[in-house]
């Protein structure tokens, strides 16, 4: 069939438009990559710091909340109890577990050579207006006695010397809140892919490498939030966070709202955690936090979910329109984005090529989290229901009144 001049004009105009948009996006993509690689170059690691002599290290309290953690708690406690930190107390708050968590902790206290360092608090009730984890950590902080307090999780592993180096880094930087991003153990296909995609989104959202330079930037990581007692006491410990589901980053916001100093480093090999197991583990693991991370704002959440559906469509649409070269350029860009993840994370370079797939998974995960929260009018987590209207009101109060930036 012969194509007329008008149709040829439309086709030419379409090609010119796509090429122009592609060129503009290429420039923007190049700027993004430059900024991403600059942020990677600025990232501090624990290896940048010298470990202080024992006599120069302040006393440290480690506070852990544990609920139904019988599978992960034992090995994690073994690494903590084996640390050679000079003045250390470990406070474990067992929070209404329905499994053997308390028994596992008690066995370590009785049988480990350093078991005397472990203090166990068995919490049997959850007061109204509190999330279980936050109430447990709050109790642990109040029971602690050392000038530094480390909040960590029941599945985090510490290598010998890592804690000394981390505290030395905090002493060197002289900050109130020291965050160390752990190495996330990832195997197979889904785990490295989803961890990498999450790390990129986390870096874009919080820019952890420069959080100390910006007054309104903040960060927090549940695996390693190290704070001065003075800073926590000034905040009322964790009472202001009692209904904040994204408690780790909200703790960072609370500290920065007080005008205090905050740094984030990459822990490399010294501190590690297995975040989730496989694809299903990721979806279920983010069920509680996703809607909270979207501020319980339904229109905003739906917009984010819709936007996450775009990356997978781009190469398909471009190829269908006869612009396979631009589709290839797009995948090359994603590959280079994946390469901005620090080498210390030990994640494969190929992950960027599959970021469109990860985006689909995250869209489903976010959408599922929103649907379940709205359907149940709350969040069901570890045998406890938290009312959505109460969570939404508490978050609004926290952002606007408690910790405004």
pLDDT at 179: 97
pLDDT at 35: 82
pLDDT at 279: 94
Q: Model confidence over 98-134: pLDDT tens digits?
A: 999 999 999 999 999 999 999 999 999 999 999 999 9
Q: Model confidence over 42-91: pLDDT tens digits?
A: 788 998 899 999 999 999 999 999 999 999 999 999 999 999 999 999 99
pLDDT at 5: 55
Do residues 45 and 344 touch, judged by C-beta distance below 8 A?
yes
pLDDT at 8: 57
Q: Model confidence over 194-245: pLDDT tens digits?
A: 999 999 999 989 989 899 999 999 999 999 999 999 999 999 999 999 999 9
pLDDT band at 23 (very low <50, low <70, confident <90, very high): confident
pLDDT at 230: 97
pLDDT for residue 299 is more than 80: yes
Domain boundaries 46-274, CATH class:
alpha beta
pLDDT at 288: 87
pLDDT at 22: 66
| Alpha carbon of residue 189 to chain centroid | 20
In this prediction the pTM is 0.92
pLDDT at 9: 53
pLDDT at 64: 98
pLDDT at 1: 46
Question: What rounded mean pLDDT belongs to the chain?
Answer: 91
pLDDT for residue 258 is more than 80: yes
Average pLDDT over every residue of 178-184: 95
Average pLDDT over every residue of 361-382: 94
pLDDT at 101: 96
**Domain residue extents for the chain:** 46-274, 281-402
């Amino acid at each position: 069939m012969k194509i007329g001049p008008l149709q040829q004009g439309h086709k030419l105009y379409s090609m010119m438009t796509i090429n122009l948009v592609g060129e503009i996006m290429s420039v923007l993509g190049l700027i993004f990559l430059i900024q991403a690689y600059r942020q990677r170059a600025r990232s501090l690691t624990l290896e940048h710091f010298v470990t202080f002599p024992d006599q120069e290290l302040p006393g440290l309290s480690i506070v852990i909340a544990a609920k139904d953690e019988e599978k992960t708690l034992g090995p994690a406690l073994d690494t903590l109890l084996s640390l050679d930190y000079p003045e250390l107390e470990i406070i474990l708050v067992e929070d209404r577990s329905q499994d053997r968590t308390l028994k596992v902790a008690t066995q370590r206290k009785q049988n480990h050579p350093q078991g005397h360092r472990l203090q166990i608090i068995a919490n049997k009730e959850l007061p109204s207006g509190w999330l279980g984890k936050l109430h447990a950590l709050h109790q642990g902080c109040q029971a602690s006695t050392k000038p530094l307090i480390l909040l960590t999780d029941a599945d985090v592993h510490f290598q010998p010397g890592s804690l000394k180096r981390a505290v030395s880094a905090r002493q060197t930087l002289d900050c109130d809140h020291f965050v160390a991003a752990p190495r996330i153990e990832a195997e197979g296909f889904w785990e490295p892919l989803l961890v990498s995609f999450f790390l990129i989104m986390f870096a874009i959202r919080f820019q952890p490498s420069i959080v100390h330079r910006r007054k309104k930037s903040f960060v927090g990581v549940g695996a390693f939030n190290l704070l001065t007692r003075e800073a926590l006491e000034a905040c009322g410990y964790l009472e202001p966070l009692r209904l904040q589901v994204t408690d780790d980053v909200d703790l960072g916001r609370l500290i920065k709202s007080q005008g205090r100093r905050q740094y984030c480093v990459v822990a490399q090999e010294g501190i590690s955690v297995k975040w989730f197991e496989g694809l299903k583990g990721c979806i279920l693991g983010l069920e509680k936090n996703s809607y909270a991370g979207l501020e319980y704002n339904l229109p905003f959440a739906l917009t984010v979910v819709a936007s996450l559906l775009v990356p997978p469509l781009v190469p398909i649409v471009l190829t269908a329109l006869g612009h396979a070269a631009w589709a290839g350029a797009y995948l090359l860009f994603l590959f280079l984005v994946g390469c901005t993840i620090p080498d210390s994370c030990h994640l494969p370079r190929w992950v960027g090529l599959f970021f469109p797939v990860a985006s689909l998974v995250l869209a489903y995960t976010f959408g599922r989290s929103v649907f379940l929260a709205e359907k149940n009018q709350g969040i069901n987590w570890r045998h406890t229901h938290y009312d959505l209207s109460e969570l939404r009101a508490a978050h609004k109060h926290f952002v606007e009144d408690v910790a405004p930036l």
